[in-house]
Amino acid sequence: MAINERWAENNGVRLRYLDNGGSDDGRLPVLMVPGFGESIDEFRWLLEALEPRRAVAVDVRGRGGSDAPDEGYSWADHYNDIAAVVDAAALGPVAGLGISRGCSYLLGYALHHEGVRGLFIGDYYARHVHLPESWPARAWQDVLRGVPITERMKLHSIEGIQRDAVEVPLWDRLGEIEGPLWVVRGTRASRMVTDEVAAQWVAARPDVVVHTIEGAGHDLWSKGKDAFLAVVADYLADVDAHQAADGATV
């Protein structure tokens, strides 16, 4: 199948997304939200690997090929970007898959819009994280998978993300999330979900699945794409089993 480039719009902001054109075979489509600085083009391999299951990846504002407005980088702006793509793609209920800061946007979408039936949290917290004033200068120096952030984003977008980032704790709202909740982390020092953070996830949502990819860092496929894909497959099998059980009890 071909990976198709599509467009949605949220209050005048054009949003780019990729759609693998998978079939409607009764399984939930996968909705992917990359992390800070990532482009959905880096997720083409995963969109292809999930075929024939439908999967869509979203460039939220300021990232990849989407518009980078001068202002409007709040948590709500971002999770409503996701909602605009879900509507444009006519996805209906989805299995969410977020990476790093993309997880807080996906959590926001799940908590403010209907239709999320499972969440894959790629090495992040149940928070929308406040960012200090010093963060844009540090972020501007980052290099992700060999590509400098200066080639990935515009400085005004990074500054807007920091300026509009207000701390929003979400630990006490995890019970509102439907379906399986998986938190996936690595073992290297760069990981965000340390043992303490993992314990926080378990305390807030006792049925959470915490999965560790040995040798991976915060970049969860730094150990290799096969290891990451295997975890995604297990997560989706869990989502499918829950969907089948829910259907059997209706």
pLDDT tens string for the chain (250 positions)? 689 999 999 999 999 999 999 987 889 999 999 999 999 999 999 999 999 999 999 999 999 999 999 999 999 999 999 999 999 999 999 999 999 999 999 999 999 999 999 999 999 999 999 999 999 999 999 999 899 999 999 999 999 999 999 999 999 999 999 999 999 999 999 999 999 999 999 999 999 999 999 999 999 998 789 999 999 999 999 999 999 988 754 3
CA 30 to chain centre: 10
Print burial letters for 86-99: b (CB count within 10 Å at least 16), e (below 16). bebbebebbbbbbb
pTM across the whole model? 0.96
pLDDT at 248: 54
Which SS3 state, helix, strand or coil, does residue 238 take? helix
Instruction: Please say whether the dihedral angle defined by the alpha carbons of residues 91, 95, 97 and 98, taken in this order, is positive or negative.
Output: positive
How far CA 44 is from CA of 36, 166, 224, in Å, comes to: 17, 31, 15
Going by C-beta distance under 8 Å and a sequence separation of 6 or more, which residues neighbour residue 154? 62, 68
Enumerate the domain spans of the chain: 4-249
pLDDT at 128: 97
Give first-to-last CA distance, the chain, whole Å: 34
CATH number of the structural domain 4-249: 3.40.50.1820
Quick one: which of 104, 109, 67 has its CA closest to 87? 109
Cβ atoms of 100 and 183 within 8 Å: the answer is no
Quick one: which of 135, 33, 134 has its CA closest to 79? 33
pLDDT at 249: 43
CB burial of residue 244 (10 Å; 0-12, 13-18, 19+): exposed
